[in-house]
Amino acid sequence: MTDTVSLLAGERQNGESYRAIQACNDYLRMGPGRSLTALAESYAESPQNAPTANRWTLKRWCGSYAWVERAASYDARLEDAKNARAREIMESGLALAHERVVKLKNLAGFLEGQLYEQGADGVYHNVWLPDVKQIGSGADAERVDIERFNQGIISEYRATLDDIAKETGGRVVKQETDNRIVVEWAYGDDPAPGDAPEATRKATPDSAVGC
């Protein structure tokens, strides 16, 4: 067993072996649904790298070296990092309405320039596009040059203006819901295990009740 492994959370305690530290780290990495049973099963599947194959040894290490408290600290630290990253993303760039409006206005300006661009003959050549059409068939077929209205660029321009209006409150967006009933708990982030309806109850992980 290597002697360079370090704990992911907490401080090493007197008598805590590096095998116990490895097991603790593996336990922490399992996440909020972690359990000693699941950890023991994973070790049973790969015994060559397991610090122990004995569930009762895991239980003893868990109780002696505060794995539950370490797990709470580890999870809290990961959650803080996740929330900080989410705030960074949601408070900058295109997550901000005014930044999106700037991009949309630039796009609208570009499309408008394309719409009103004229050739030397004064024709709006991005609105009326050259095309060909075949009249008749076989030896009597005749190719005819035509102009086709560029509906695509008009639609994109209008859609961009509509997006700007939505971002600035100029459009009312309807939100339709079906007849499904959504039940929300009023106890905070999660209901207590005993308060949850029977259909939603799950096995309580070790980290919620101790080793």
- The span from the first CA to the last CA of the chain, in angstroms, equals 25
pLDDT digit string, tens, across residues 92-149: 999 999 999 999 999 999 999 999 999 888 889 899 888 988 888 888 888 888 889 9
- The amino acid that residue 33 corresponds to is G
Of 107, 67, 87, the residue nearest 207 (C-alpha): 67
- CA 89 remoteness from chain centre: 11
Give 58-100 pLDDT, tens digit per residue: 999 999 999 999 999 999 999 999 999 999 999 999 999 999 9
pTM greater than 0.75 (yes/no): no
Do 70 and 28 contact (CB within 8 A), yes or no?
yes
Please name the amino acid found at residue 178: D
Two tokens at 143? 């190719």
DSSP summary character for residue 144: E
Q: Is 74 exposed, middle or buried (0-12, 13-18, 19+ CB in 10 A)?
A: buried
> Using CA atoms, how far apart are residues 95 and 10, in angstroms rounded to an integer?
36
